[in-house]
Structure 1
């Protein structure tokens, strides 16, 4: 179901229909998922009070029908439908994502000198690779510019 190295790259660039109708553009699926996780990883230094909520309620949030998990599940399923992610069990994929977020938060709190941006990107690359994205593409995706986090801070704060 996922991207195969012998697949025609023009087919990947054009996208293909997804289950919900419309066309999913292959090049936007991995980056959308990655952007969300990378931004969440950067939240821990910028908003430690929100980070502590994630730490204290991470397992509850992993099963919530609101917030980051449903969005991650949507992005993961869209990537599966488009053939970008190779995921054996679509219910486990967001659980792995949701488990990685508080683990990263705990590490960043335990190691205040650790580079949160780099650490977030390393974890994101690992998740992308786990979902079948080749290493070089995961690296490219994690090097894409993120939205202005100061604007996000204004919305959160």
Structure 2
């Protein structure tokens, strides 16, 4: 096997051992409001990193920490992602163990992808994750929902 084929095989194996999370950003009107909300929560962990606290601890922790991200659904559209840095245990005032998903503060815009409402978080395979927008397009507004939906229905997005 050539070095290029070996490299591609290693990349494919690594991609298969990575899984992402997807989560609704309830209350966010856009990516900027998500960023602003996270800024108010950064002191929670003492390290200044944004985090999302959830009841359930992911069973696929190793795959998430192998390069996974959390993809944020804002107003019914996947619009951005953040790399997951680690999972911290948090014990609430009620004594219940929770999971703090600690995130990289960099918010990376993605191509808009429609997503129906759901509760909690879900696993998102790498193969189903929307691609990142090119750096030069990171500040563009997403397509209008109606246009995005029409393009998705005909298989363009």
TM-score normalised by L of structure 2: 0.25
Pick the structure with more strand per residue: 2
Structure with more contact order per residue of length (Cα contacts < 8 Å, sep ≥ 6): 1
Task: Work out which of the two has the higher radius of gyration on C-alpha atoms and give 1 or 2.
Answer: 2
